């Protein structure tokens, strides 16, 4: 890849300088990197939602993309920094489950503990591993450093459990994962599951939510 892509997902927001500092570190090490912002608006420390958003977005990036995920309530503790080497992409971030659903979607080849300080900033803050560990790691990966050069392979990485929908009789049990800025309730129910039960556009569905039942018509567009 002539211009390696590094994609960022954090809970930092954009009103502070944290994201800019991460980008500055990346570009100082790998000036030709193309940095893409997935989102920096994950609710603070919400690892589960961060994992869901990374899972959704990562599948559309070209092969060879390096994803940096920083939703890290355990920063400064014994939690490990890791690289996940998946079939199509590399994932860099904390060992708290954030990276794993997206990587498992592709297939995980190996996971490495980031230990080699040669590829990190000289001074590492206890509260900003995004800048001091994850950003330089991603930049060196973009330069061609092998994941295995950063540290030993591990198998006991943390896996986060995301809700799985299921068919029960002629019903589907699922979960609303989040509500987007347009007010859409984004669920974990795939379209294929609806089709399996013969549910098509225009059907009227009975929806139960927190004990309340509603009749809603299934439509494919707003208009």
What is the pLDDT, as a whole number, of residue 223?
Answer: 76
For the cut 80, the answer to whether the pLDDT of residue 11 exceeds it is: yes
Give me the domains of the chain, ranges plus CATH numbers.
5-154 (3.40.50.10790), 166-217 (no CATH)
pLDDT in tens, 82-113: 999 999 999 999 999 999 999 999 999 999 99
Instruction: Report how far apart the first and last C-alpha atoms of the chain are (Å, whole number).
Output: 41
- Segment among 58-62, 122-126, 152-156, 181-185 with least mean pLDDT: 181-185
pLDDT in tens, 24-55: 999 999 999 999 999 999 999 999 999 999 99
Q: How confident is the model at residue 168 (pLDDT cuts 50, 70, 90)?
A: very high
Q: Chain-centre distance of CA 91, in angstroms?
A: 9
For the cut 80, the answer to whether the pLDDT of residue 149 exceeds it is: yes
For the cut 90, the answer to whether the pLDDT of residue 220 exceeds it is: no
Q: Which burial class, exposed, middle or buried, applies to 98 when counting CB atoms under 10 A from its CB (0-12, 13-18, 19+)?
A: buried
45 to 48, 86, 123, 134, 213: CA distances (angstroms): 9, 24, 24, 17, 32
Kindly report the CA angle at 82 between 133 and 105, in degrees rounded to 5? Answer: 130
CA 150 to CA 123: how far, in whole Å? 17
Please say whether the beta carbons of 38 and 60 come within 8 A: no
């Amino acid at each position: 890849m002539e211009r390696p892509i590094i994609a960022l997902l954090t809970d930092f927001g954009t009103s502070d300088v944290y994201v800019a500092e991460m980008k500055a570190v990346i570009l100082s090490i790998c000036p030709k990197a193309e940095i893409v912002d997935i989102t920096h608006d994950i609710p603070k420390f919400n690892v589960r939602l961060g994992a869901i958003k990374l899972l959704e977005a990562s599948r559309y990036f070209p092969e060879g993309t390096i994803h940096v995920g920083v939703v890290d309530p355990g920063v400064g503790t014994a939690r490990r920094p890791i690289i996940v080497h998946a079939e199509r992409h590399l994932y860099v971030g904390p060992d708290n489950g954030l990276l794993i659903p997206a990587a498992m979607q592709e297939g995980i080849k190996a996971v490495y503990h980031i230990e080699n300080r040669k590829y990190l900033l000289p001074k590492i803050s206890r509260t900003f591993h995004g800048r001091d560990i994850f950003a330089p790691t991603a930049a060196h990966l973009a330069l061609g450093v092998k994941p295995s050069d950063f540290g030993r392979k591990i198998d006991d990485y943390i896996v986060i459990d995301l809700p799985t929908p299921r068919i029960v009789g002629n019903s589907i049990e699922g979960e609303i994962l989040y509500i987007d800025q347009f007010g859409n309730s984004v669920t974990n129910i795939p379209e294929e599951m609806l089709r399996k039960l013969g549910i098509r556009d225009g059907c009227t569905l009975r929806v139960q939510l927190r004990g309340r039942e509603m009749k809603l018509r299934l439509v494919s567009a707003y208009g």
